[in-house]
Chain A
Amino acid sequence: MNAPESKRAFRYVGTRPVRPDGVEKVTGKAIYGPDYQAANMLHGAILRSPHAHARVRSIDTKKAEALTGVKAVVTGADFPTTEHIIMAVGESSSDLVHLSRNCMAQDKVLYDGHAVAAVAATSDEIAREALDLIEVDYEVLPHVLGIEEALADDAPVLHDDVFTKGVNPTPDKPSNAAMRVEMGKGDPEKAMADADVTVSGRYTCEAVHQGYIEPHACVSAWDSDGQVRIWASSQGHFAVRSLTAKILLISEADIRVTPLEIGGGFGGKTTIYLEPVATLLSKKSGRPVRLAMSRAEVFRASGPAPGAVIDITMGANKDGMITAVDMEFKYHAGAYPAITAHSGASSALSHYTIENSRVIGWEVLCNRPGTKAYRAPGAPQSIYAVECALDEIAEKLGMDKIEIRLKNAARPGDPNIMGIPQGEIGYVECLEAARDHPHWSAPLGPNQGRGIAGGAWGNYGGPSTAQVSIAEDGTVLVTTGSPDIGGSRAAMAMMAAETLQVPYEKVRVAIADTSSIGYSMVTGGSRTTFATGLAVTNASNEIIENLKGRAANIWEVNASEVAWGEEGAVCLAEGKTDETMSLAALAARTTFMVGAIGAESSVNPGGFLPGVGVHICDTEVDPETGHAKVVRYTAIQDVGQPIHPDYVEGQMQGGAVQGIGWALNEAYLYNDKGCLDNPGFLDYRMPVASDVPMIDTVMVEKFNPGHPYGIKGVGEVPIVPPLGAVACSVSEAAGVRMRDLPLTPDRVHEAMHPDD
Chain B
Amino acid sequence: MPSQAYHAPATVDEAVALLSGEPDARPLAGGTDLIVQMKSGRNAPDAIVDLKHIAALSGVHRNGDGFAIGAATACTALKNDAALAAAWPGVVEAANLIGSVQVRNRATMGGNLCNASPAADAVPALVAAGATCLIAGPAGEREVPVEQIPIGPGHTSLAPGEFVVEIRLPGQVAGGGDAYLRSIPRTEMDIAVVGAGVNLVLDGSGTCTAARVSIGAVAPTVLLVEDAAAALIGSKLDDAALDAMGKAVSAACNPIDDKRGTKKYRIAMVAVLARRTALIARERAGAAS
Residues of A within 8 A of B (CB): 125, 129, 296, 624-627, 629, 665, 669, 677-678, 682-683, 685, 687-688, 690-691, 744-746, 749-750, 753, 756
The answer to whether A746 touches B186, judged by C-beta atoms less than 8 angstroms apart, is no
Interface stretch of the complex, out of B46-54, B90-98, B135-143, B260-268: B260-268
CB contact under 8 A between A665 and B185, given known A746-B262, A749-B265, A753-B268 = yes
Q: Which residues of B contact A665 (CB under 8 A)?
A: 185-186
Q: Which residues of B contact A627 (CB under 8 A)?
A: 183, 185
Q: Which residues of A contact B183 (CB under 8 A)?
A: 625, 627, 745
Which residues of chain B from 178 to 235 have a CB within 8 Å of any chain A CB? 183, 185-191, 193
A122 CA / B260 CA spacing, docked (Å)? 40
The answer to whether B272 touches A683, judged by C-beta atoms less than 8 angstroms apart, is no
The answer to whether B259 touches A746, judged by C-beta atoms less than 8 angstroms apart, is no
The answer to whether A688 touches B268, judged by C-beta atoms less than 8 angstroms apart, is no
The answer to whether A744 touches B185, judged by C-beta atoms less than 8 angstroms apart, is yes
Q: Which residues of A contact B272 (CB under 8 A)?
A: 624-625
When C-beta atoms are compared, the residue in chain A nearest to B266 turns out to be: A746
CB contact under 8 A between A669 and B259, given known A625-B269, A625-B272 = yes
When C-beta atoms are compared, the residue in chain A nearest to B194 turns out to be: A625
When C-beta atoms are compared, the residue in chain A nearest to B271 turns out to be: A624
A669 CA / B262 CA spacing, docked (Å)? 13
The answer to whether B186 touches A687, judged by C-beta atoms less than 8 angstroms apart, is yes
A644 CA / B130 CA spacing, docked (Å)? 59
Shortest distance in angstroms between B71's beta carbon and chain A's nearest beta carbon? 24
A749 CA / B259 CA spacing, docked (Å)? 17
Q: Which residues of B contact A625 (CB under 8 A)?
A: 183, 269, 272
A12 CA / B223 CA spacing, docked (Å)? 64
Shortest distance in angstroms between A232's beta carbon and chain B's nearest beta carbon? 25
Which residues of chain B from 252 to 282 have a CB within 8 Å of any chain A CB? 259-262, 264-265, 268-269, 272
Shortest distance in angstroms between A601's beta carbon and chain B's nearest beta carbon? 47
Q: Which residues of B contact A626 (CB under 8 A)?
A: 265
Shortest distance in angstroms between B246's beta carbon and chain A's nearest beta carbon? 11
The answer to whether A688 touches B189, judged by C-beta atoms less than 8 angstroms apart, is yes
The answer to whether B190 touches A746, judged by C-beta atoms less than 8 angstroms apart, is no
The answer to whether B190 touches A682, judged by C-beta atoms less than 8 angstroms apart, is yes
A683 CA / B272 CA spacing, docked (Å)? 23
Shortest distance in angstroms between A707's beta carbon and chain B's nearest beta carbon? 40
Q: Which residues of A contact B186 (CB under 8 A)?
A: 665, 685, 687-688, 690-691
Shortest distance in angstroms between B175's beta carbon and chain A's nearest beta carbon? 28
CB contact under 8 A between A745 and B259, given known A625-B272, A665-B185, A688-B186 = no
**In the complex, which of the residues B189, B193, B259, B262 contacts A677, with contact meaning CB atoms closer than 8 Å?**
B259
The answer to whether B187 touches A691, judged by C-beta atoms less than 8 angstroms apart, is yes
A683 CA / B193 CA spacing, docked (Å)? 11
CB contact under 8 A between A746 and B265, given known A624-B272, A677-B259, A683-B260 = yes
Which residues of chain B from 156 to 192 have a CB within 8 Å of any chain A CB? 183, 185-191
7 A-B pairs with the lowest CB-CB distances in the bound complex, closest first? A746-B265, A690-B187, A669-B259, A624-B272, A688-B189, A677-B259, A691-B187
When C-beta atoms are compared, the residue in chain A nearest to B272 turns out to be: A624
**In the complex, which of the residues A129, A745, A756 contacts B185, with contact meaning CB atoms closer than 8 Å?**
A745
A746 CA / B261 CA spacing, docked (Å)? 7
When C-beta atoms are compared, the residue in chain A nearest to B189 turns out to be: A688
CB contact under 8 A between A749 and B268, given known A677-B259, A683-B260 = yes
**In the complex, which of the residues A677, A688, A744, A749 contacts B187, with contact meaning CB atoms closer than 8 Å?**
A688
Interface size class of chain B, counting residues whose CB lies under 8 Å from the partner chain: 20 to 34
A302 CA / B98 CA spacing, docked (Å)? 30
Shortest distance in angstroms between A35's beta carbon and chain B's nearest beta carbon? 20
Shortest distance in angstroms between A730's beta carbon and chain B's nearest beta carbon? 14
Q: Which residues of A contact B191 (CB under 8 A)?
A: 682-683
Q: Say what secondary structure dominates the interface of chain B.
A: loop
A749 CA / B270 CA spacing, docked (Å)? 13
When C-beta atoms are compared, the residue in chain B nearest to A664 turns out to be: B185
A624 CA / B269 CA spacing, docked (Å)? 8
Residues of B within 8 A of A (CB): 1-3, 40, 183, 185-191, 193, 259-262, 264-265, 268-269, 272
Shortest distance in angstroms between B111's beta carbon and chain A's nearest beta carbon? 17
The answer to whether A685 touches B190, judged by C-beta atoms less than 8 angstroms apart, is yes
A629 CA / B183 CA spacing, docked (Å)? 13
A746 CA / B3 CA spacing, docked (Å)? 42
A677 CA / B259 CA spacing, docked (Å)? 7
Q: Which residues of A contact B259 (CB under 8 A)?
A: 669, 677-678, 683
Q: Which residues of A contact B188 (CB under 8 A)?
A: 688, 690
Identify which of B185, B187, B188, B272 gathers the most chain A CB atoms within 10 Å of its CB: B185
A296 CA / B40 CA spacing, docked (Å)? 10
The answer to whether A745 touches B265, judged by C-beta atoms less than 8 angstroms apart, is yes
Identify which of A677, A745, A753 gathers the most chain B CB atoms within 10 Å of its CB: A745
Shortest distance in angstroms between A751's beta carbon and chain B's nearest beta carbon? 12
Besides A629-B187, A691-B186, A745-B265, 10 new A-B residue pairs in contact (Cβ under 8 A), listed by A number: A125-B3, A296-B40, A665-B185, A669-B259, A682-B189, A683-B260, A688-B186, A690-B186, A745-B193, A746-B265
A625 CA / B188 CA spacing, docked (Å)? 16
Q: Which residues of A contact B261 (CB under 8 A)?
A: 746
Shortest distance in angstroms between A76's beta carbon and chain B's nearest beta carbon? 25
Q: Which residues of B contact A682 (CB under 8 A)?
A: 189-191
Q: Which residues of B contact A125 (CB under 8 A)?
A: 1-3
A390 CA / B87 CA spacing, docked (Å)? 55
> Can you sample 9 A-B contacts with CB below 8 Å?
A665-B185, A678-B259, A683-B259, A685-B186, A745-B193, A746-B261, A749-B265, A756-B264, A756-B268
A296 CA / B265 CA spacing, docked (Å)? 28
Q: Which residues of B contact A669 (CB under 8 A)?
A: 259
A6 CA / B85 CA spacing, docked (Å)? 61
Q: Which residues of B contact A746 (CB under 8 A)?
A: 261-262, 264-265
Shortest distance in angstroms between B275's beta carbon and chain A's nearest beta carbon? 9
Q: Which residues of A contact B262 (CB under 8 A)?
A: 746
A725 CA / B190 CA spacing, docked (Å)? 25
When C-beta atoms are compared, the residue in chain A nearest to B1 turns out to be: A125
Q: Which residues of B contact A690 (CB under 8 A)?
A: 186-188
Q: Which residues of A contact B1 (CB under 8 A)?
A: 125
A749 CA / B267 CA spacing, docked (Å)? 12
A669 CA / B265 CA spacing, docked (Å)? 17
When C-beta atoms are compared, the residue in chain B nearest to A678 turns out to be: B259
A688 CA / B185 CA spacing, docked (Å)? 11
Q: Which residues of B contact A129 (CB under 8 A)?
A: 2
When C-beta atoms are compared, the residue in chain B nearest to A756 turns out to be: B268
A296 CA / B2 CA spacing, docked (Å)? 19
A35 CA / B183 CA spacing, docked (Å)? 38
Shortest distance in angstroms between B13's beta carbon and chain A's nearest beta carbon? 34
A423 CA / B262 CA spacing, docked (Å)? 49
A624 CA / B272 CA spacing, docked (Å)? 7
When C-beta atoms are compared, the residue in chain B nearest to A629 turns out to be: B187
Identify which of B1, B40, B183, B265 gathers the most chain A CB atoms within 10 Å of its CB: B265
Q: Which residues of A contact B193 (CB under 8 A)?
A: 745
Shortest distance in angstroms between B239's beta carbon and chain A's nearest beta carbon? 14
A85 CA / B227 CA spacing, docked (Å)? 69
A636 CA / B104 CA spacing, docked (Å)? 38
When C-beta atoms are compared, the residue in chain B nearest to A669 turns out to be: B259
A629 CA / B185 CA spacing, docked (Å)? 10
A68 CA / B187 CA spacing, docked (Å)? 48
Shortest distance in angstroms between B250's beta carbon and chain A's nearest beta carbon? 11
A665 CA / B193 CA spacing, docked (Å)? 14
Q: Which residues of A contact B264 (CB under 8 A)?
A: 746, 750, 756
A669 CA / B258 CA spacing, docked (Å)? 10
Shortest distance in angstroms between A480's beta carbon and chain B's nearest beta carbon? 37
A687 CA / B186 CA spacing, docked (Å)? 7
A687 CA / B184 CA spacing, docked (Å)? 12
A15 CA / B212 CA spacing, docked (Å)? 61
The answer to whether A685 touches B185, judged by C-beta atoms less than 8 angstroms apart, is yes
Q: Which residues of B contact A624 (CB under 8 A)?
A: 272
A744 CA / B269 CA spacing, docked (Å)? 14
When C-beta atoms are compared, the residue in chain B nearest to A628 turns out to be: B185
Q: Which residues of B contact A753 (CB under 8 A)?
A: 268
Q: Which residues of A contact B187 (CB under 8 A)?
A: 629, 688, 690-691
Q: Which residues of B contact A687 (CB under 8 A)?
A: 186
